[in-house]
Amino acid sequence: RMLSGYKSQNDVKDSYKILELEEGCSLDDVRNSYRNLAKKYHPDSSSGMADSKAFIRVEEAYRVVLSDMAAKQKSDPGEEEEDQFKSKSLQHRHYLSFEGVGIGTPSQREKQYMQFRVDRATEQVLEYRQQRLESLCAGSDLSRAKDVRQSKKVKITQAVERLVEDLIQESMAKGDFDNLSGKGKPLQKFSDSPHIDPMTHNLNRILIDNGYQPEWILLQKEIRETIERLRKSIVASRRKLGEPMTLSEQKQWGRICEQFAEDIRKLNKRVDNFNLVVPILSRQMVHFSPDKEILRARKTYEAVVEQVSDSDMKENKREEGK
């Protein structure tokens, strides 16, 4: 914008000299010369002859030459139309314009322009959402009725609160609160933990008295109950199959082990959730291994079988003695 409003003081001949051209050259020659000089003097180029002032002079001369050629074309009806000589912004001109936003070097202006585009897009999204909400609210009678009901609920709640406050103030004025037990005495504190705030102790006591339990305690209890139930169920399934197992019983045992491994995988997800919320690092739990649990179930089954066999032997000896 600044360059477009700037009026050049160079004449046409000096402009041709700056572009290293002669009068009467073609439009393609002017564009090629301007492109080469722009690459040579552009501040962002890696050329050793980069110079912002020289680039501005080249830019100014290029526009003067284009204006001169357009004027000649207008006076000469045999040439092509005037639109061919209009200024066409090259790619680096788009890079330099940035809609007139920002100051500083081209790289700094680029960052400022990117932030400007982000802010503008955010504003457009917010405006779109606001218009959509307004249209929905305006065209929906149900939303209006819901708002009316909600406002009535708020008014009723506020009225009840004012009534309760008035009753409390009236009782205080009558002296109903003067003879309460514990008046003028400090609140009872916990004596076993003097390093914690008394208010925290009182809040914890109120929560405990009302049966409150933290989430991590409930998760820990649930995990322990689940693993015990799974262990008992797999041992019971193994006892039902008996010893030795037939081919079909072995296949059934394989399916039972697969289902048990899937249940352990789901239980390990609960363990992950427990480790995220437990406040004490030493209370975190490790994953349960399906293979170890199955091996444990087999050992438990073998121990039960040995106990049963020992009891049977003792009973047989008693019967023989009788």
- In the chain, the percentage of residues whose pLDDT exceeds 90 is 15
CA triplet 130, 136, 141: central angle to 5 degrees?
A: 140
Q: Is the pLDDT of residue 122 over 60?
A: yes
Superfamily in which the 12-72 domain is placed by CATH: DnaJ domain (1.10.287.110)
CB-based contact 47:55 (threshold 8 Å) = no
> Whole-angstrom Cα distance, residue 119 to residue 129?
15
Q: Is the pLDDT of residue 2 over 60?
A: no
Q: How far is CA 164 from CA 150, 168, 169, 170, 171, in A?
A: 21, 6, 9, 10, 11
Average of per-residue pLDDT across 278-292? 89
- Give the residue, 79 or 140, on which the prediction is more confident: 140
Of 140-149, 179-188, 312-321, minimum mean pLDDT range: 140-149
pLDDT score at 281: 85
pLDDT in tens, 228-274: 999 999 989 888 887 788 888 889 999 999 999 999 999 999 999 99
pLDDT score at 76: 60
> Whole-angstrom Cα distance, residue 31 to residue 65?
10
Tokens coding 130: 């606001």
pLDDT score at 139: 63
pLDDT score at 229: 93
What is this structure's pTM? Answer: 0.37
> Whole-angstrom Cα distance, residue 190 to residue 198?
7
Average of per-residue pLDDT across 288-292? 92
Q: Is the pLDDT of residue 7 over 50?
A: no
> Whole-angstrom Cα distance, residue 142 to residue 163?
31
Per-domain residue ranges of the chain: 12-72, 100-139, 140-175, 213-320
Average of per-residue pLDDT across 200-220? 81
pLDDT band at 204, cuts 50/70/90? confident
Half-sphere exposure at residue 214, Cβ-oriented, CA atoms within 13 angstroms: 9
> What's the chain's average pLDDT?
78
pLDDT band at 5, cuts 50/70/90? very low
pLDDT in tens, 89-98: 444 444 456 6
